[in-house]
Chains A and B, each alone.
Chain A
Amino acid sequence: MNFPKELKYSKEHEWIKVEGKRATIGITDFAQSQLGDVVFVELPNTGRTVKAGETFSVVESVKAVSDIYAPVSGTVVAVNEKLNDTPEAVNLSPYEDAWIAVIEMSDPGELEGLLDSGAYEQFTAEGGH
């Protein structure tokens, strides 16, 4: 199980890579292992305004359909169109190829509420709920 140090994490099992005001978001290695084979990712529309905690994407696996919650508020400025054709990237490369969207943050202060890799690893060790 991989928990990259440079990322932040949410308790809904999303990872966040922060570069200035831009936050790139995907789902964690732990999340993809729980979901099983991913068959579809529903991407948000670019230009959409999202609030932290709001559903903004859906990941469908052979077992289940899971909502992906925006870990921060802001505007969706990019989405990973490649996932339309290769949803399995979520299983194979959750932190690299399978980023879902980039959000231009409206309130970077929200990052304070997120976990670092150590805390997130601890959280998953306790079951991740």
Chain B
Amino acid sequence: MIRSYLPHTEADRQAMLGVIGVHSAQELFADIPPNLRLARSLDLPAAMAEPELARHLQDMAKSNASLEDYACFLGAGSYDHYIPSVVDHVIRRSEFYTAYTQYQPEIAQGYLQALWEYQSMICEITGMEAANASMYDGGTALAEAAMAACGAVGRNEVIVAGTVHPHYRTLLGTYSIDKGYQIKEAAWAEGVTDLPKLEQQVSSATAAVLIQMPNFFGCLEDVKAIADIAHAKGALLVAAVNPISLGVLEAPGLLGADLVAGEGQPLGLSTSFGGPYLGFFAASEKLLRKMPGRIVGQTTDHEGTRGFVLTLQAREQHIRREKAVSNICSNEALCALTAAVYLSSVGKGGFRQIAELCLNKAHYAYSRLTALKGWRTEFFSPFFHEFVLHCDQPVAEINRALLAKKIIGGLDLEHYYPELAGCMLIAVTEKRTRADIDRLAAALEAMV
């Protein structure tokens, strides 16, 4: 017998219609113009029994490729890191997994504490004094940081490095339409921001300089020098950072960054076809009140017991909507929780070790690939776990051939940087084994 999962019987529906005095569901929708109604049944196949349906969906799922079956050398803002098993077990607890708008202190102490722990960890790895409870993703966090900087400095020009992720720069442009800030792009050379040109560009009209560290090409920017250039003109430095790199690189807060934004996906979130991801946002104490989004604070109740609440809400949009720096009120609490569980499970030592493995494996891959005929390095700048190589064959062709060998190659940069036609952006995380890297090198060698 096939049972319906709909709770109401036909008799129930008739009874309800009778109470309000209409004869049919169609009559109930009479206010919707006929041309907007679907005058037919939904185009779905016939109903199936559950075992049949399960088999059908499994067959469909088999046509998906997964990162478990392929060696992935594609990064460009989304990275294939190992996710400890404990992460999924913790975040799938229903107290976390099904909680919605977890901000009422009377009912959500556990979640508020978890978010507070997340904020504390973000502060620790970025070297900043305050962090919010999360934002949509790295791109929105950077755009929000640009707005916060304009609000704090009282200027409306931002200079964004051309080495910042192209998607982030597009997003920055989208935000500027409404917010009215002006965007200028800073030139780059050898894969990093051109400092003498930047120095000429930054003026007393500049609210902030926006950089990425490591940048889109994987190269390491001279954060301290850029901070000095910005500060000399009264502008702020906003740094978008890859959190994993902070296991080996100096924290941006200690290099002069005033606001730090970034993509938290590498902290225990799967690549998931591009989302949901995690924007993290941290600020110096001076800019605390310019920070968008929610902030969880630790306090004590009237009996002196430790407790957690949303704090500094007076600066939030629902209190002063028209004066708020930002009108964002959503956040990515479950993704923030994921990052917190990830960081606590790997620990300080593990965090450093993951970063070192990324660094070392990427440099091993770099040395293997640059030794191949037809492949050469594009930028002579230090890099973390991602690098750009130039090859003599079209990148798209190479990637197609690699895919047939169950290898996902690097990003074809031509689409984003026409001047880098023939260049591939290759990422190597701790998940890549020596065998994976050797297999990539052998596959590329076979193509020449």
Interface residues of A (CB under 8 A from B): 40, 42, 45, 48, 60, 64-65, 67
Contacts and interface: CB of A to CB of B under 8 A. Distances in A.
B314 interface: yes
A65 B320 contact: yes
A40 B154 contact: no
A40 to B, nearest CB: 6
10 contacts: A40-B289, A42-B289, A45-B154, A60-B289, A60-B314, A64-B314, A64-B319, A65-B315, A65-B319, A65-B323
A65 B319 CA distance: 8
Interface in B289-315: 289, 314-315
Nearest to B313: A65
A14 to B, nearest CB: 18
Most buried by A among B289, B314, B315, B323: B314
B231 to A, nearest CB: 16
Contacts of A67: 323
A60 B314 CA distance: 7
Nearest to A44: B154
Most buried by B among A42, A65, A67: A65
A65 B154 contact: no
Nearest to A42: B289
Nearest to A67: B323
Interface residues on B, range: under 10
Contacts, number: 15
A43 to B, nearest CB: 12
Contacts of A40: 289
Interface of B: 154, 289, 314-315, 319-320, 323
Nearest to A65: B314
A67 B322 CA distance: 12
Main DSSP-derived SS at the B contact region: loop
Contacts of B314: 60, 64-65
B370 to A, nearest CB: 51
A65 B154 CA distance: 19
B154 A60 contact: no
Given A64-B314, A65-B320, 4 more contacts: A40-B289, A45-B154, A65-B323, A67-B323
B284 to A, nearest CB: 13
A42 B319 CA distance: 17
Contacts of A65: 314-315, 319-320, 323
B282 to A, nearest CB: 19
Nearest to A58: B323
A48 B153 CA distance: 12
Contacts of B323: 65, 67
A34 to B, nearest CB: 15
Contacts of B320: 65
Contacts of A48: 154
A67 B320 CA distance: 10
A76 to B, nearest CB: 12
Nearest to B314: A65
A18 to B, nearest CB: 27
Contacts of A60: 289, 314-315
B64 to A, nearest CB: 50
A54 to B, nearest CB: 13
A102 B230 CA distance: 29
A48 B155 CA distance: 12
A84 to B, nearest CB: 8
B253 to A, nearest CB: 20
A64 B315 CA distance: 9
Contacts of B319: 64-65
B205 to A, nearest CB: 14
A23 B312 CA distance: 31
Nearest to A62: B314
A50 to B, nearest CB: 12
A27 B319 CA distance: 21
A96 B320 CA distance: 29
A61 to B, nearest CB: 8
Nearest to A60: B314
Contacts of A42: 289
A65 B315 CA distance: 8
B321 to A, nearest CB: 12
Contacts of A64: 314, 319
B148 to A, nearest CB: 14
A67 B410 CA distance: 52
B38 to A, nearest CB: 48
A75 to B, nearest CB: 15
A48 B154 CA distance: 10
A65 B314 CA distance: 6
A60 B319 CA distance: 12
A81 to B, nearest CB: 12
A67 B154 CA distance: 17
A40 B287 CA distance: 12
A42 B315 CA distance: 11
Contacts of B289: 40, 42, 60
A111 to B, nearest CB: 27
A118 to B, nearest CB: 34
A60 B154 CA distance: 19
A40 B290 CA distance: 12
Contacts of B154: 45, 48
